[in-house]
Amino acid sequence: MTVPVLDIHKILKKLPHRYPILLVDRVLEIERGVRIKALKNVTINEPFFMGHFPARPVMPGVLMLEALAQTAALLSFESQGTEPGDDTVVYFVGIDGARFKRPVEPGDQLILEATIERVKAGIHKYKTRASVDGETAVEAELMCTMRKIN
């Protein structure tokens, strides 16, 4: 069994998200300034499965992208060596080339990966991929920015 680099308690300190929108359960690997690998356990208890779809539950693609964005945000905070405060958030600013390759169902372990492509003018661009059992479920380029809020 792999010991997590960040367990759920550390993730809760770094991300403002809470149930039901917190979509990262643990960080498995991190190379500051380069890449991250995290895990989302997909369970039948997820509230979205009641309506998506009752006869054949499938995780919505937009939530897979959100899980990847949260993973990328964790990489940003770790790479910059900053602790987020109540006055700092990471916002999505763009998604390019999103491609959905396979459905994600209850019981799957979604492996979330993000690699920093570049950082320019406060915009972080990531190459991301989510997979189940080594098979790509979704891939996309995500852009995020970190902002102070009042």
pLDDT confidence of residue 3:
59
In-domain check, residue 97: yes
Q: Is residue 1 part of a domain?
A: no
CATH of the domain at 57: 3.10.129.10
Q: Please list, in sequence order, all residues whose beta carbon lies within 8 angstroms of the beta carbon of residue 43, skipping any fewer than 6 positions away.
A: 106, 107
Q: Is there a domain that residue 40 lies in?
A: yes
Q: Is 42 exposed, middle or buried (CB count within 10 Å of its CB: 0-12, 13-18, 19+)?
A: buried
Note if 52 is an active site residue.
yes
Write out residues in the chain with pLDDT < 70, as ranges.
1-3
3 belongs to a structural domain: no
Q: What is the pLDDT of residue 1?
A: 46
* Residue 56 is assigned to a structural domain of this protein: yes
Stated pTM of the model:
0.94
Question: Is residue 77 included in any domain, yes or no?
Answer: yes
Burial of 112 (0-12, 13-18, 19+ CB in 10 A): buried
Domain-located, residue 2: no
Q: Kindly tell me the sign of the dihedral angle through the C-alpha atoms of 35, 68, 29, 123.
A: positive
From 9, 17, 52, 124, the catalytic residue: 52
Please give the backbone phi and psi of residue 135, each rounded to the nearest 5 degrees, phi first: -100, 125
Domain that holds residue 136: 8-148
